[in-house]
Amino acid sequence: MNFLAHTTLPLFNPDRNPLLHFLLKRTFYAQFCGGETPPEVRRTIADFKNIGFEGVILGHAKEVVLSKEEAESLSAQPAAIDQAQVDAGEVATWKENTISTIELTQRGDYVALKFSGAGRQALRRLKATVTCSPEFEDAVHDICKRAAQRGVGLLFDAEQASLQEGIDNWTMYFAKLYNKEKAVVYGTYQAYAKRTPSNLVRHLELARREGFVLGVKLVRGAYMGSDPRELFWGTIDETHKCYNNIARAIMQKRYQGILQPVEGASVEFPRVSLVLATHNAESVRLARELRDEQARNGEERIELAYGQLMGMADNVSCEVVQTARTRRESHSSNPDVEVPKAYKYLVWGRMGECMKYLLRRAHENKDAVSRTVEARRALGRELGIRAAFWRSI
């Protein structure tokens, strides 16, 4: 998979090799991706919503993942980039793909987007941590306005560490403009990174001071295969602790544990919306228990969604879906009952565009073995329930 994701040989390009395309389309692609064309994507979205998912998180697959050598060559670029070098075609294509993705969604859905998909000019500016170009800024304004019109949230994805400071700066710039009433723009925070708690605290303080809603998509992280190891916590347990502590602090809108306010700043928490993107059943369980407690006590509850990738952690997703269905049927108008919202994260695009995404599915989530055990137990419980039902009739 690593070879297929990075090779430039036409023979191994699935968009040029019909046999390779046929094999991948019916295996890896079918498992993890939502479709190559808008009609295919619409069918996939409809299937998930018919099952009972609240909605989808939809993203176009095109992105750039830099090697160490490529990252170093970008850093050699001057900060003041000659506008004559801007490839407006790359930005225009990225904007077109993103707008097309928004048009495939419905109110209440989310769209995930990567700044790296806008091409080398955007990458150079991100690496240099300078402002985005006028062409790029205009494109993002159009994207944000269209998303707001359709009632769709925009999840600005985290990427490689060499680009992340620039991504954070650009994300906060647009959040200040479009999150005045509700979260349209969400930043992504990776719990496996040591810098995440302090970075999130700075953004919380900025949102409080500037008076906008901070949109938070909380993940564990997906770039361990390409980023320096010293940037991450030493153990998976530290990552779990970071993730769960951040989730609890945000849900309770209170600085605590790993999240402490900026020295000398107010302890007042800003308005916040949260997408818990995780395959970890324990993290979902802890969050749901807290939400149920808040509902019973009549406490304020923030806007919250649970998200899992298509093709992964279906036992976690379906448990949330089943709970939501049961509670809607029996407590449809009771505000003291929490109805959780489950989302599936779908990536779409041509086979070749999806290869780097598929490669990350193979590298990330190092606790996959424990999740497999949990999934097997969940399957066993479900089989037991169904067997008992058939014996009773």
Give the pLDDT band of residue 84 (cuts 50, 70, 90). Answer: very low
Of the ranges 4-13, 19-28, 50-59, 175-184, which one carries the lowest mean pLDDT score? 4-13
Q: Is the pLDDT of residue 267 over 90?
A: yes
Residue 9 lies in a domain: no
Residue 23 lies in a domain: no
Residue 105 lies in a domain: yes
Give the pLDDT mean for 75-103.
74
Question: For the domain that residue 332 is a member of, what is the CATH number?
Answer: 3.20.20.220
Give the pLDDT band of residue 380 (cuts 50, 70, 90). Answer: low
pLDDT at 243: 98
pLDDT at 13: 65
Residue 56 lies in a domain: yes
Residue 2 lies in a domain: no
Residue 102 lies in a domain: yes
Number of structural domains found in the chain: 1
Residue 156 sits at φ, ψ, to 5 deg, of: -80, 110
Q: Which domain, by its residues, includes 83?
A: 36-392
Give the pLDDT band of residue 19 (cuts 50, 70, 90). Answer: confident
Give the pLDDT band of residue 28 (cuts 50, 70, 90). Answer: confident
pLDDT at 25: 76
Residue 211 lies in a domain: yes
Q: What is the pLDDT of the chain when averaged over all its residues?
A: 86
Higher pLDDT, 222 or 55: 55
Give the pLDDT mean for 39-51.
96
Residue 324 lies in a domain: yes
pLDDT at 375: 53
Q: Residues with Cβ < 8 Å from 335, sequence gap 6 or more?
A: 295
pLDDT at 24: 77
Query: pLDDT for 47-68, tens place per residue?
Result: 999 999 999 999 998 766 555 5
Query: pLDDT for 122-133, tens place per residue?
Result: 999 999 999 999
pTM, full prediction: 0.86
pLDDT at 365: 44
Between the two ends of the chain, the Cα-to-Cα distance in Å is: 49
Higher pLDDT, 331 or 339: 339
Q: Is the pLDDT of residue 221 over 80?
A: yes
Q: Which range scores top for mean pLDDT: 68-82, 205-219, 331-345, 373-387?
A: 205-219
